[in-house]
Each structure stands twice: as structure tokens, then as C-alpha cells.
Amino acid sequence: MSLADWLKDKFIEIHRPSAREIANLLHICDRDLEKALIPDLGSDWRLSIAHNAALQAATAALAAAGYRARKEGQHYRVLQSLAFTINTDPAIIKQLDKFRKKRNISDYDRAGMVTEQEAEEMIALAKQLRDDVEQWIRKNHPGLTKEL
């Protein structure tokens, strides 16, 4: 599979990113990473906020590559796209997907099932992903970094 295959299958669509859009996505990521560190929020919310930070970083990478995910399965596709954009290790993508599923359960079905360790792991993953995405964009799409 590739982004070209996803485009053909209508999982993603062509998108013309701007430096402002990339900066905004990474700023949202930074904001969420900061908020995820507030211990009084509880582990469910901290994981959810850190997961959103990771989504924003992955969305920035996909946008920089010239695409955006369609609405159906958007979060899943954005995270999976990291294999094609910044060449993220499949084990990391699998871990991100595990936390995506856990976030869905804690947000919509059952509270109190996220441990502090899981929240901390998601925060660490999101921080690393944010750094990896910015480095990749700076190297591969320098014209999109002028507002960072």
C-alpha cells in the first residue's frame, strides 16, 4: 500500500497545505501536550488529550505530503499514514492505534479504564511524534516551515 493507493481507494484526497496550516496544527499539538501534563485531569483525559496531540502532528505530516484524510475512519487513517509520510516504525503505529481504541472506549463507553502509565506512554509517544514530524517537514518540505 501507499498514499497513491489510498488516493485511488478514496481514503484520502489531494490537499494543498500552507505554512500557516502546518504551524496551526503543530501549535494545537503543543497546546494539547501542555494540557496533557496536568495531573489533576486524570489519566483518561490526559490520554485523550495526548492522543489528540498525536493526531494533530500526524495530520500535519499528511498535509505536508499533500493529502488529507476523508471523514470516515479519519483518525485511523491519519495515524496509519505515518508509515507513508515520516516512515514511522510499524510497532509505534500499532501502539498509537491501541491508544486510539482505548481513548474511544474511555470517551464513549466506560470511564476509569486508563492507567497513569498508559497516559504517560501516550504523552511520550505524542511528544516524540511531534518532534519527528517537525524534523521531517523541515527536511522534506522546508517551504512549509516559515511560520514555525
Task: Say what the pTM is.
Answer: 0.95
Mean pLDDT, contiguous 10-residue spans, the chain (148 residues): 94 97 98 96 94 98 97 92 98 95 70 88 98 98 94
CA 68 to chain centre: 12
- Which residues face 69 on adjacent strands? 12
Q: Are 55 and 73 in contact (CB under 8 A)?
A: no
Residue 60 confidence (pLDDT) = 98
Sign of CA dihedral 101, 104, 106, 108: negative
* Integer Cα distance of 85 and 4 in angstroms: 12
Q: What is residue 103's predicted lDDT score, i.e. its pLDDT?
A: 80
Domains of the chain as residue ranges with CATH: 3-8+18-141 (1.20.120.330)
